[in-house]
Structure 1
Amino acid sequence: MLNKSLPSVSHTYQHHHLDSTRWNAFSPCDGDVVVASSIKSGTTWTQWIAVKLLLSDYNPKSLLDIAPWLDWRTDPQQDPLQDLIALLEAQPHRRIIKTHLPLDGLPYFPQVRYIVLGRDGRDVAVSLWNHYGNYSDELLALLNSHEGVSFPPRPETFQEFWADWISKGWFDWEQDGYPFWSHFHFIQSWWEYRHLPNIIFVHFADLLADLTGEIQRIADHLGVSLSATRRSDIAEEVTFENMKNDAKKYAPLFEGEFKDGPEAFFHKGTNGRWKHILTDQEIAQYESAVTRTLSPECAAWLEHGKDAL
């Protein structure tokens, strides 16, 4: 179902990772780009595509220097919000900002171009399991430094993690995603506004299957003219292998966040591993969670990408 009104904020997201109120300090500029995903859905991949499209002559040392995660609830002593806003306001080019917020927690700006990412939730869960297991003691301590918030260490088994992730939400209005945030509520909140001309949906499976085609779609959405040669060059620069080989630059990590270093951020970059992990009962749980939260059209797109449209 399409929502004919414009998006508006109806929830505040504040916990160990997220603080949606940080967006209150943000002033949009014409042509800003917001890359939005729940988690483990090709966020970093797409941010780099946007960087290559918009800033072809710029070679940042790190993604953190050019495309920050605004709603990341960091330690205010180490990363004051005003410093991040100053970084953005000093950028003379089109800016790229990352968010993991549903659209009901994010201010909507008509002059901003949004790229919304999706991925089959079963692939997300398997990827997130590996991601979660690489959290360092330092990162866990940071996540638990906020008053009244307790972020648990990863459970001993995937089955324990899955049981909570598929059936329990952190926020009262969510029904999955624990202890992070809801994958399904995120995508449904955006899906209802897919008719808006400044919002485009990009699926992880489509990036895998047709990277050059998806780069062209993103370029068209951003109003960037792109030659066939440049499109092929970008596709080569942002392959999974190339990003993993230069992970210190490509991974959006601060020093010490991952036990095994930035290379571990790029784990497999594939789909379908859940088929060898989930039991029939767990697949049934997944299907129930999808039906509970997603419209049929959104559910079909989340599973199949553009083949469902």
Structure 2
Amino acid sequence: MEDSHRWLGFPARDGDIVISTRSKHGTTWTQMICALLAFQTPELPAPLSELSPWLDWTIAPADEVFARLEAQRHRRIIKTHTPLDGIPIRPETRYIVVARHPLDAAVSLYHQGDNIIRERVAELTGEPVPEARSGPRPELRDWLAGWTRSHHDPREAPDMLPGVMAHLADAWARRDAPNLLLVHYADLAADLDGEMRRIAAWLDIEVDESRWPELVKAATFGEMKAKAAHTAPDPAGLFRSRDAFFRNGTSGSGAALLGDEALAAYTARVAQMAPKELLDWLHRP
């Protein structure tokens, strides 16, 4: 459902904000934060997926997505799951890459699989419904252990471990670029107010001090879940439940699921995929 070639024909605008993440790493959360900063009101004028469209998403025709973005007069906020090495980089565009502990993101990905209506995806893409697996779906613990051992090509399965680490390692290598900001999911969870202020300062957006409490509240997990009809990224009706998209927003569940041996194997595996400084930052509490 993704085609990064669309970026080659996209007419960029100075000041665009591009949010580049892997799935379940805090994409929607960061889109919401940027939209709240852009509009400076907790009552956004349209659903989040309309204000901040997913440019690569092939279910929405490219000309429609481009036209919607062209008509926007506010600071444009564009979602992509493509790594930075797969899209044009412009000095006048601001890029935000959001990271999350890979095991926590994988747990969320597993649960999201239960929430997607495969028949609806097939209807919209014209692809056949995937054949049912023989036997029941693996339990989460077993699935997660298998996810850590995966050797998929990042271009073919970007949400498996090699794809996640390739996305983050590429962004880490660019971290000194003045138009790139790295955001950590754990920091958003621990200090939402502080992280929102950091993002606002980096985007050169001034917010009146009196507005901060209501903007921060609107970006909390509870508030976004309460307004899932407008905040969940589901303009085409692919989810069984928009509320279920916001499952619990916590961290640490992934590592807790793996036993000592499997966790040690994961640690050794990612050490071959990324520099130590990135791994220390990525895996910190």
Q: TM-score, normalised by structure 2?
A: 0.90
Q: Which amino acid aligns with 2:9?
A: A
Residue 293 (str. 1) matches residue 277 (str. 2): no
Q: Distance in 2 between matches of 1:215 and 1:196?
A: 20
List 4+ stretches of structure 1 deviating above 4 A.
149-154, 172-176
Residue 45 (str. 1) matches residue 29 (str. 2): yes
Task: Give the RMSD, CA atoms, in angstroms.
Answer: 2.6
Structure with more helix by fraction: 2
Q: Distance in 2 between matches of 1:27 and 1:150?
A: 35
Contact kept? 2:36, 2:44, Cα under 8 Å: no
Q: Which amino acid aligns with 1:25?
A: G
Alignment of 1:1-309 (within 5 A): 17-56=1-40, 59-74=44-59, 79-141=60-122, 145-146=126-127, 155-171=137-153, 177-178=159-160, 182-259=163-240, 261-304=241-284
Q: Distance in 2 between matches of 1:238 and 1:126?
A: 22
Q: TM-score, normalised by structure 1?
A: 0.83
Contact kept? 1:143, 1:151, Cα under 8 Å: no
Q: Per the alignment, in what secondary structure is the counterpart of residue 293 of structure 1?
A: coil
Q: Which amino acid aligns with 2:30?
A: T
Contact kept? 1:169, 1:182, Cα under 8 Å: no
Cα distance change of structure 1 residues 55 and 173 upon mapping to structure 2, 3 Å threshold: closer
Aligned residue pairs total 282
> CA offsets, 1:171-228, max 9 Å, x none?
36789843x9711111001111111111011101000111110001000111011233
Q: Per the alignment, in what secondary structure is the counterpart of residue 284 of structure 2?
A: helix
Q: Distance in 2 between matches of 1:173 and 1:84?
A: 23
Cα distance change of structure 1 residues 169 and 193 upon mapping to structure 2, 3 Å threshold: same
Unaligned runs of 5+ in 2: none
Q: Which amino acid aligns with 1:229?
A: S
Cα distance change of structure 1 residues 173 and 292 upon mapping to structure 2, 3 Å threshold: farther
Q: Which amino acid aligns with 2:7?
A: W
Cα distance change of structure 1 residues 222 and 151 upon mapping to structure 2, 3 Å threshold: farther
Q: Distance in 1 between matches of 2:178 and 2:55?
A: 23
> CA offsets, 1:39-86, max 9 Å, x none?
211111110110011122672331121101111232xxxx21111111
Q: Which amino acid aligns with 2:16?
A: D
Q: Structure 1 residues 214-223 or 159-168, which shifts more?
A: 159-168
- Percent of counterpart pairs with the same letter? 37
Q: Distance in 1 between matches of 2:84 and 2:137?
A: 30
Q: Distance in 2 between matches of 1:157 and 1:231?
A: 42
